[in-house]
A and B are shown apart, each in its own frame.
Chain A
Amino acid sequence: MSDDEENYDDFMMSDDDGMVEMEDDDEDEENIAGSGSQNGESGNDISDSSEINRQSLEDLYEMGVYYGEEQDWIKAQTTLRKLVDISEGDTDEDAVHWRHKSLLQILHHWALRMHYNDLPQLDEVIPACKELVRQFGIQNDDKIWSEIYTTPRGFLFDDEFEPLALPRIELQLKCMEPLLIDETMQLRHNVLSIWQNRLKSNRIDESRINFLESHCFNNDDGKELDTLHVEIVNLILQCYIHEFMSTGKINSMAKFSQFLVKVESHANRSLAVSQTLGIMMQLPLAQAIEQVLQKSPDTKRLQQLFWSSLRQVEEIGGPQKFSSRLEEFILCGFIFCSMIMYRENGKVNPFDLEQVKVGREMEIVQILQDCYYNFVQLKLSQLGISINKLPIGVLTLLDVLVKEIYQVAQITKLWESVAPLFSCISLRDLQKELQVSQIPVTRDHILTILMTSIMKDRAAVYYKLDLKRDLVYFGNENKVPLSLCAKQSLTLGELERSNDIGMWHSTRKIKHKDTNAFFQDLQKQRVGEYEGGSFQPRSSQDSLIHELALQAARVWSS
């Protein structure tokens, strides 16, 4: 008896923890297992019904736990059930305590069985659920609910799922039916229903997403989100990613962007959010998707976003195979950005990075490597060929980047290898030089490249067009004065007009982050002396006058 008492005390001490954290941590488990086997020895006579009433509830509980450990679900179930039945109506503190624990344990076993893909009968668990809720209510922080209403492993946007995922969800949803009066249960119900729709018909119910989204953030008072909410944020992110991966677009772009802003601000102040593995990968991924869809020109940021998701993918998935569509997407996105950024920041070869290196045997990595080197060496037609070897799905999703790569390659080739070599080239030849894919480069496209190079500050060599004979002349010798009048000699009105038209434009870029400085700079340009190509400093003016006099003399004598 004294033995028992000691045991009991032991239990009561560890129980305080046990109540809060139902998940067995290791220490607890050992305790239970140890005492369980003890009880197993002394409890040969459980089947003896006359003894049952004397059996302490505690022993029954431990026995149930023990059977659970042994995965003898039926015995575990009957034992724990027995405990609940015996203590039914008993308001004694101990009785209530053990009753609560064993109800939780029944659910826990049920969850475990589902986890091992041994889909149990509902009639075992529904009564337990009902009873638990009736007697003890639904405590939101009860981990048991997360445990039995757990979502399938993997992500909503994965290509493949465990075979029993759908039947399990259906079971879970049925089991939830009696509990739907509770608000958090409704949230969970929506989460699982979204999964169910996805698995059943590959559709995502937008109204459910809206419901979750509004619930998640409607009391956005900056408090730490609880586990369920983190899970919901996670799921919504997955839904958006799934939508993009399967359709190439996102219908409610504005909502998506707003959502990302919220998630980011939560991630910034909440460890629970930022440290959730799924979110760590999905947030940068979703932001990358946002940027791709918005066709934002900030490739540097995009590269970083793809890079962080690539690193997270590795952390989640272990050794890289780059076999799923998502992994392909992230990898290609990262490499494409690296290509576009090559000339600004090409010191790091992305194929030297550990995360990419691990997959160097994979076909997709090898193709990407070809793309990269053809791009670096400005072999345009080979670049087109190697890019087209990539999976078409990914190319469609990253269409914006592919176009950008082609354009950057064309512009670079034009200014690095064509313009310095030729003093004059026909547009037709230029079209051939800059052809990337099978689609021929049009004359207008060449002109666009030439002109946008000015707008984007990429024209490295001065050029002039002869649009009558379709020629381009390269070189500074083509720099000629466009006007005869001097800026200083204009009236105010003329000066205003000529400034607006751009007669005195400078080719200098104005890289200011702040508006006032930008306009001040422009203002200075407008009123200041013309600083165009031929502006002569005072010191050389004498020689210039001399030269002009000579020119004048020539005109004279003619």
Chain B
Amino acid sequence: MMFQGFEGAILVERVNHFICKEYGSEQERKKWAEDIIKYLCDIGCVNTPHWNKLLDIGDFETLPEVSPCESLILQKTIAHEYAEAVALLETNDIAIATHCRNLEAITEILILDRNFRELEEIEYQITGINFSRQESLGEQEANALRRIKLLLCASLYLRGKYFDCSNCFFKLLTNDHKMMDFLSQEAPKKFLTNSEVLMMVQISTLLAIPLDNYEDFTHIEELVPFQKVCPSLYHCLRLLINTSFGKFFQLWHGDINEQCDQSFFLDQNWGAAQCMMREKIYFFYLRVSNYIEISYLSRILGIEESLVKKEVENLINSMHLSFEIQGDTVRYKRSFFLENVVSQLQLNEKSILSKLESQRLRNREMRDLLQSMIIGNDENNRSIAGDALLRSDRRELSREDSEMMDVDEINDVSDMDNQSVEIGN
């Protein structure tokens, strides 16, 4: 059974996910909806945002009787009132002996809530439990702590921080020698399954490590035992190292896609991750080519042509790549970084020149005026005129300053662009 081992809020969310994704036959979906409604009535938590949808699909003449609810926390969680659920958990009197398990419950709710700020808080608390103390924890507490760490790691995937997710996971793996065994068996009561964690790690690792360093990664001796735990990652890496991109995408869009689609958690960030991997390979091709055809990319990678075109176009634009698309061809287009600012520079030049010109005129006028005044030798007049002159001069000067600044700013921009530049192969 697909939902074996799940209960409470996560069960509701997973069932809802399946129904939203329209998995299974209509019959099956109806059955799932009915079962979950019965379950919700049974535990007295009918206040879920999915309720109406579930009722629509399920077929009830009369609803089952709603039992009284035994756990307010559970009720709040199922109702998506996560903050209140967490607050309840936090105010509970917690024995030190079950501290980690309580923290695990909070972490789970925060993950459902995608409340990453609070999750960072949890991470902070966890780092307080240092290694020696972790050793002295009982089996159950130690495992709860492991699950929290894995959940935090998963939260990084959910946020699209693939590098951090991969990095964090391998730290856990190498710092805790029991982690490998822990990962190879699923707990009876599941929230996030181990295979989901491993899939997150697999996706994150493929995305986070540069293509040029895949091979280095496979040579890390420390991780040899991990190859057995997660063979699919290494299979993908081998395909990519041998540039069998087509075969890799078959997997990526096939088995891996299916697993991610089905998983309530993986699916949350799968679309973005999936696309980014394609972009990574497009970029590799752009990096080694001056000319390349969309149709060729599409054929060799096994990705639909219109999608390739759309994504390559988006990649070029969003990353300001020096390429342009002409029909089917993607072409390297050498462009000067100043090109975009030239028109603005020209405008600036014009306005500077005209300002200078008018200034010159004013100066001449002033000089003429002064001369005539000196000639007139009228002291009173002269002091008034002098004040006026000073005032206007200062104003003009400060205006000129600001014009000069513009030119400086442009220089600053060029400074930075110097470093953008090339990428080797």
Q: Which residues of A contact B (CB under 8 A)?
A: 444, 447-448, 450-452, 454-457, 459, 462-469, 473, 478-489, 494, 496-507, 509-516, 518-519, 522-523, 525-526, 529-530, 532-536, 541, 544-545, 548-549, 551-552, 555-556
Contact = CB atoms under 8 A, between A and B. Distances in A.
A502 B283 CA distance: 7
16 contacts: A448-B243, A455-B215, A464-B288, A464-B289, A467-B289, A468-B329, A480-B322, A481-B421, A481-B422, A484-B337, A498-B319, A500-B162, A503-B283, A507-B425, A522-B210, A552-B336
A452 B245 CA distance: 11
B288 A450 contact: yes
A541 B215 contact: no
B342 A552 contact: yes
A482 B211 CA distance: 17
Contact of B332 (A480, A484, A518): A480
B221 A513 contact: yes
Interface stretch (B16-24, B389-397, B408-416): B408-416
Interface residues of B, number: 78
B290 A482 contact: no
Given A487-B420, A500-B163, 4 more contacts: A454-B288, A479-B422, A509-B216, A522-B163
A551 B322 contact: no
Given A510-B216, A518-B217, A483 B319 contact: yes
Interface stretch (B166-174, B189-197, B253-261, B355-363): B166-174
A466 B291 contact: yes
Contact of B338 (A509, A533, A552): A552
Interface string B312-347: 000100111111000001001011111110100110
B418 A541 contact: yes
A510 B213 contact: yes
B59 interface: no
A462 B280 CA distance: 20
Contacts of B171: 515-516, 519
A456 B241 contact: yes
Given A484-B320, A516-B174, A465 B289 contact: yes
Contacts of A478: 290
B419 A501 contact: no
Contacts of B416: 486, 488-489
Given A486-B420, A548-B414, A555 B339 contact: yes
Most-contacted residue by chain A among B209, B280, B421 (CB, 10 A): B421
Contacts of B212: 454-455, 457, 502, 505-507, 509
Nearest to B244: A448
B419 A482 contact: no
B387 interface: no
A544 B418 contact: yes
Nearest to A482: B423
Most-contacted residue by chain A among B290, B334, B335, B416 (CB, 10 A): B290
A505 B213 CA distance: 9
Interface string B256-298: 0000000000000000000010011001101111111100100
A180 to B, nearest CB: 41
A530 B212 CA distance: 15
Contacts of B288: 450-451, 454, 463-465
Contacts of A464: 288-290
A502 B222 contact: no
Interface in B210-241: 210-217, 219-223, 240-241
- Which 7 pairs across A and B sit closest by C-beta, in order of nearness? A533-B424, A534-B422, A468-B291, A486-B420, A534-B421, A481-B421, A505-B210
B161 interface: yes
Most-contacted residue by chain B among A473, A478, A504, A548 (CB, 10 A): A548
A469 B280 CA distance: 24
Contact of B170 (A448, A466, A519): A519
Contacts of A466: 289-291
Contact of A455 (B170, B208, B243): B243
Contacts, number: 228
B203 to A, nearest CB: 11
A516 B166 CA distance: 11
B54 to A, nearest CB: 36
A511 B216 contact: yes
Given A482-B423, A507-B425, A552-B342, A467 B319 contact: no
A496 B161 contact: yes
Contacts of A509: 212-213, 215-216
B286 A482 contact: yes
B207 interface: yes
A469 to B, nearest CB: 7
Contacts of B219: 511, 513
Given A465-B290, A480-B334, A485-B319, A515 B422 contact: no
Contacts of B280: 500-502
Nearest to B214: A455
Nearest to A450: B288
Contacts of B315: 501
Interface in B353-381: none
Most-contacted residue by chain B among A444, A487, A497 (CB, 10 A): A497
A468 B329 CA distance: 8
B410 to A, nearest CB: 9
B242 interface: yes
A86 B290 CA distance: 102
A467 B293 contact: yes
A545 B337 CA distance: 12
Contacts of B323: 482
B390 to A, nearest CB: 36
Nearest to A553: B338
Contacts of A514: 174, 220-222
A513 B216 CA distance: 9
Contact of A556 (B160, B296, B334, B342): B342
Contacts of A473: 290
Contacts of B208: 500, 522
Given A481-B322, A500-B280, A541 B170 contact: no
A502 B210 contact: yes
A306 B18 CA distance: 55
Given A468-B293, A484-B322, A548 B418 contact: yes
Interface string B179-197: 0000000000000000000
B417 interface: yes
Given A502-B210, A503-B319, A551-B336, A481 B420 contact: yes
B335 A496 contact: no
A456 B415 CA distance: 35
Nearest to A520: B167
B418 A545 contact: yes
Nearest to A484: B320
Nearest to B321: A483
A462 B425 contact: yes
Contacts of B291: 465-469
Contacts of B424: 462, 479, 507, 532-533
A459 B425 contact: yes
Contacts of A556: 342, 345-346
B359 to A, nearest CB: 24
Contacts of A456: 215, 241
Contacts of B334: 480
Nearest to A449: B243
A497 B289 CA distance: 22
Nearest to A513: B221
